[in-house]
Structure 1
Amino acid sequence: MTAASKINNISCQQIHPWSTSCTQSAGSIWIKVFIAGLKLYGPLFLVPTLLFKRKGTLPEIIRSSTFLGTYAGVFSGSICLFRSLTTKDYKSIAALSGFFAGLFSILIERKNRRSELSLYCFNQTMEIMWKMAANRGFAFYIKHGEVLVFMIASSILFYFYQQEPESLRSNMNGLLKFFINSA
């Protein structure tokens, strides 16, 4: 039996033992993930800024860190909220919480980044669904399958880079040119 199917048997105190308040817990999760986001996005945005002399890096770092913090905080708070609203054992509380977390957090990012983030989230969703199906015997497990997926995705990306470069965003083309031409 999965943890999601037992979610109504777990109290909020078991979900966040460091705090008796669901709101305070979601807030502390937001802060911790926001700080982790700064550590993640800082180098991620600063390296291209130094290499390609871009501007406006600090607002991007803060916006993306806020995106991550909001996703984690809303997800945590939503689980407690949906648990308190339902009296039945719903297996979809985590999925519903993830939907709302994604919906609210995606609105923080710039419109031109939303499609990229949606693709990333879709990839994560597909991976989770595949693993859940494999655990239930509906799908099979492929050892090192992530390497196979990476190879396929890279092949598709390089096909478009070579055959239809105008279909890729300019920063993706620039990044690929930077790495391919320097090799």
Structure 2
Amino acid sequence: MKNYVISAADQLIIQSGTPFSCEIVHPGQSCEMNILLNLPRIMKSNAKVYLPVHLIPFLLYKRKQLIKNPISTISRALVSYFKSICFLSFMVQILRYNWCKQKNLLKKVDPFVPSSGGFISSFALLLESNTRAMEICLSIVPRFCETVVNLLKSRGKMINIPHGDVIVFSFVIAIIHYYYQHDPKSLKSTYYKVFEKIWGIN
């Protein structure tokens, strides 16, 4: 499939928020056709992204299950792998489709377009398994907090705390270690095994 390269001039138009034609992004194709035709390519690319994410924990923590029940273990792993690929691929394509439709509807590109796209595309997380969906949520929350802090700093509404990241890390480790000691069932089994190797049983 042909990949279109957006010129520097067109990129400036898009980034400036000026209304632009969809022909800039996917010339000769409708928005719907572009999304559908590019979906296999996106899924192939995301398959490479998620392969180590699923393969490494599988090899580290599922070896006993693999020996005991290989067919069932591999089947569940493949289903989980495919769910992750679908989640990320559909999320990306929904974002792109929303961008096209919203800017055509509003006749402009404003903060509502990416915000609404992010909200709508997030429902692709329903394609993920419950445990991995929770992991994704937990990984996104710190990034959100970091973005808010950086935004406040850039606008001069928050002072810069030296080694603030170390302080936050200390609080997080303290909380994790508390539950590791007093309520280990609240931690994911794979995480608990890692902490057990690091901290041991006290």
Matched, 1:9 2:9: no
Matched, 1:132 2:142: no
Which residue of structure 1 lines up, in the alignment, with residue 114 of structure 2? Answer: 94
- Summarize the alignment of residues 91-130 of structure 1 with structure 2, pairs less than 5 Å apart: 91-103=111-123, 105-130=124-149
Deviation at 1:25, TM superposition (A): 3.9
Matched, 1:171 2:190: yes
Larger radius of gyration: 2
Deviation at 1:170, TM superposition (A): 2.3
Q: 2:51 aligned to 29, 42, 57, which one?
A: 42
Q: 1:22 aligned to 16, 31, 41, which one?
A: 31
Task: Report the Cα distance in structure 1 between the residues aligned to 2:132 and 2:109, rounded to whole angstroms.
Answer: 36
Matched, 1:65 2:85: yes
Deviation at 1:109, TM superposition (A): 0.9
Deviation at 1:34, TM superposition (A): 2.5
Alignment check: 8 A CA contact 2:95 2:117 kept: yes
Task: Report the Cα distance in structure 2 between the residues aligned to 1:141 and 1:28, rounded to whole angstroms.
Answer: 47
Instruction: Give deviations 1:51-71, integer Å, cap 9, x for gaps.
Output: 222522221111111111111
Which stretch has the larger CA shift, 85-94 or 58-67?
Answer: 85-94
Task: Report the Cα distance in structure 2 between the residues aligned to 1:27 and 1:143, rounded to whole angstroms.
Answer: 48
Amino acid at match of 2:31: C
Which stretch has the larger CA shift, 3-12 or 126-135?
Answer: 3-12
Amino acid at match of 1:84: N
Q: Percent identity?
A: 24
What residue ranges of structure 1 are gaps of 5+ in the alignment?
none
SS at match of 2:110: coil
Which residue of structure 2 lines up, in the alignment, with residue 161 of structure 1? Answer: 180
Deviation at 1:147, TM superposition (A): 5.8
Alignment check: 8 A CA contact 1:41 1:65 kept: yes
Instruction: Give deviations 1:68-108, integer Å, cap 9, x for gaps.
Output: 111111111111111112145532211110011112x1110
Deviation at 1:46, TM superposition (A): 1.7
Aligned length: 177
SS at match of 1:107: helix
Instruction: Give deviations 1:95-137, integer Å, cap 9, x for gaps.
Output: 110011112x111012333332222233333333333333333
Deviation at 1:150, TM superposition (A): 4.4
Alignment check: 8 A CA contact 2:19 2:107 kept: no
Matched, 1:84 2:104: yes
Amino acid at match of 2:190: N
Task: Report the Cα distance in structure 1 between the residues aligned to 2:109 and 2:127, rounded to whole angstroms.
Answer: 32
Which residue of structure 2 lines up, in the alignment, with residue 74 of structure 1? Answer: 94
RMSD (Å) for aligned C-alpha atoms: 3.2
